[in-house]
Amino acid sequence: MSAAPKYQVVHDKILHRLHSGQYAIGMRLPTEGELSRAFEVSRVTVRKALEMLVRAGFLTSRQGSGYSVATLSPPASTCLVSFTDKVLFEGRVPGAQLLRIETPTQDLPAAVAAYFDEPLVLVERRRTVDGAPRMLTQTWIPQCLVPNISATHFPETGQNQSILRILRQAFELDWTSACETLDSLLATARVAEMLDVPRGTPILSQACTAFDTAGKPVFFDQVYRQGPISFDLAGPAPRQIA
């Protein structure tokens, strides 16, 4: 069995550093020269490894500024973009207040019940940016996929508050596609309270269903949010980026 190419070895080592938290989102990586000395390979080898991570979505590259960490959950691997990562990359502070976990939940919206015919767990959180409420999120997941789910799985600060990473890392959930529906509505009394806006304020509603390779739904995410949503229209399919 032949050994892996040197650039692949470097790629894997840098990726491990990303996942282990050695390089935080928004952080600039060491220079090509520094990495080449650390890994005892040429700068050409390091550059090839870094460009692989850029293409995968983990890093961004800007001439004269080097490479920076863009996300730990790139669209190439999740088909969705992490709110946590985007806020961190902008130099702001995301937060996630856990409001409740219902296991199993009884009161299912029709949109959720249309996808699942099994007991579900509901995770409800309030997401903040620099301490200000920005989103109310409700995530329904089949109970069999998240055994022993508890508050300990949901940090309120740091880069591991991303629901995408929690579901993948803590419960090994996998999904390869997603369907999103956007709508506008007037904030109900409870949503208005969670977002700290007057009741009846126009807000955005975003519903997302993630599917595995067999087309089976893995989770349903309902988001009520303030502010606009932007999309990256480059590549084969548009991806939400905010």
pLDDT at 216 over 60: yes
β-pairing, 120-129 with 94-102? antiparallel
Q: What per-residue confidence (pLDDT) applies to 77? A: 60
The ranges assigned to domains in the chain are: 6-69, 81-228
Residue 117's pLDDT is what?
93
Q: What pLDDT was estimated at residue 232? A: 53
Read off the amino acid at residue 241. Answer: I
User: Given this model, what pLDDT does residue 3 score?
Assistant: 80
Architecture of domain 6-69: Orthogonal Bundle (1.10)
- State the pLDDT at residue 75: 66
pLDDT per residue over 176-208, tens digit each?
Answer: 888 888 899 999 999 999 999 999 999 999 999
Backbone angles phi, psi at 22, to 5 degrees: -70, -35
Q: Mean pLDDT, the chain, as a whole number?
A: 89
pLDDT at 76: 62
Give residue for tokens 């996808």: 115
The 10s digit of each residue's pLDDT in 99-133 is 999 999 988 999 999 999 999 999 999 999 999 99
Strand partners, 129: 94, 132
Give the per-residue pLDDT at 98.
97
| pLDDT above 80 (res 237) | no
Read off the pLDDT of residues 224-234 as tens digits, 9 standing for 90 and up.
998 766 555 44
Q: Over 60: is that where the pLDDT of 1 sits?
A: no
Q: Are 146 and 121 in contact (CB under 8 A)?
A: yes
Q: Is 145 exposed, middle or buried (0-12, 13-18, 19+ CB in 10 A)?
A: middle
Burial of 46 (0-12, 13-18, 19+ CB in 10 A): buried
What is the C-alpha to C-alpha distance for residues 144 and 146, in angstroms, rounded to an integer? 6
The pLDDT score that the predictor gives to residue 19 is 84
d(C-alpha 210, C-alpha 188), whole Å:
26
Report the b/e string of 178-203 with b at 16+ CB within 10 A. bebeeeeeebeeebbebbeeeeeeeb
Q: What is the pLDDT of residues 45-81, one digit of tens each?
A: 999 999 999 988 889 998 888 999 988 887 666 667 7
Residue 2 has a pLDDT of 58
Cα 179 to Cα 79: distance, rounded to the nearest angstrom: 10
Fold: same for 6-69 and 81-228: no
Report, as an integer, the average pLDDT of 1-6: 76
Q: Which two tokens stand for residue 10?
A: 């470097």
- The fold of 81-228 is Chorismate lyase (3.40.1410)
